[in-house]
Amino acid sequence: MVFLSGCDDMSTQEDMGIPGPVEIREMTADDLNEVLAIEHASFSAPWTEDHFREEMAVPFCHDLVAYCGGKLSGYMSFAIVHDEVHIRNIAVRRDVRRCGIASTLMGEMLSITARHRVRLAILEVRVSNVAAARLYEKFDFSVRGVRQAYYTRPVEDALILCADLFENAGTFSRGDSPL
């Protein structure tokens, strides 16, 4: 699947070193070296290779990668259980952030969850993670609670964010983003 990211203006793409549209695929074991490099550059308590491998082996877990200009530029993991989706991980390579890649991944996630008639999306985010919180706000997530000391390295509370996907049905579809 090929989507244009928010950086679909070619001069902007060239300025930012982004050479083209975003392609979303299922993650495979061949992606893991690049995924782990982004994971380690993005999180103070990164998932391990085993964690990603276990995730990919679970039927209700979905792991997507975003390719841009032939390079793995981001990824996302989420689990669908009954009518809920739990967003478990999302990260984008530092040099291509703020170009709509995470939004494109979120759009594909919403396309998949719509096919499964998922009603509710839920995730946790560090209270200090402004970039992620803004991203989720754009997809109509709102704060529903706090998990105290949920994260380690450093210890930090998590905001619990939820979005009612039926309410948003038709607003965001395959590859769309609210940007």
Ligand X SMILES: CC(C)(COP(=O)(O)OP(=O)(O)OC[C@H]1O[C@@H](n2cnc3c(N)ncnc32)[C@H](O)[C@@H]1OP(=O)(O)O)[C@@H](O)C(=O)NCCC(=O)NCCS
24 belongs to the binding site for ligand X (CB under 6 A):
no
Q: Quote the tokens at residue 176.
A: 């769309």
136 as an active site residue: the answer is yes
C-alpha distances out from residue 137 to 124, 162, 163, Å: 13, 10, 9
Q: From the list 27, 99, 159, 165, which residue makes contact with ligand X (rule: CB under 6 A)?
A: 99
103 makes contact with ligand X (CB under 6 A): yes
Query: Using CB under 6 A, which residues numbered 118 to 137 contact ligand X?
Result: 125, 129-132, 134-135
Asked if residue 98 binds ligand X (CB under 6 A), the reply is yes
Among 27, 35, 64, 90, binds ligand X (CB under 6 A): 90
Q: Each residue of 154-177: b (16+ CB within 10 Å) or e?
A: eeeebbbbbbebeebeeebeebbb
- Decide if 35 contacts 27 (C-beta within 8 A): yes
Q: How far is the CB of 37 from ligand X (least distance, A)?
A: 12
Residues 42 and 48 sit within 8 Å (Cβ to Cβ): no
User: Which member of 67, 75, 136, 151 is catalytic?
Assistant: 136
Task: Respond yes or no on whether the N-terminal peptide bond of residue 154 is cis (omega within 30° of 0).
Answer: yes
Establish whether 67 is a catalytic residue.
no
26 to each of 1, 45, 61, 110, 156, how far by Cα in Å?
10, 24, 11, 15, 31
Query: Element (H or E) spanning 103, and its range?
Result: helix 101-115
- Tell me, residue by residue from 58 to 87, as one string, x for binding to ligand X by CB under 6 A and - for no binding: ------------------------------
Instruction: Please say which residue, 117 or 142, places its beta carbon nearer to ligand X.
Output: 142
> Catalytic: which of 39, 108, 124, 151?
124
Residues in contact with ligand X by the rule CB under 6 A: 6, 42, 90-92, 97-103, 125, 129-132, 134-135, 138, 179
Residues with catalytic roles: 124, 136
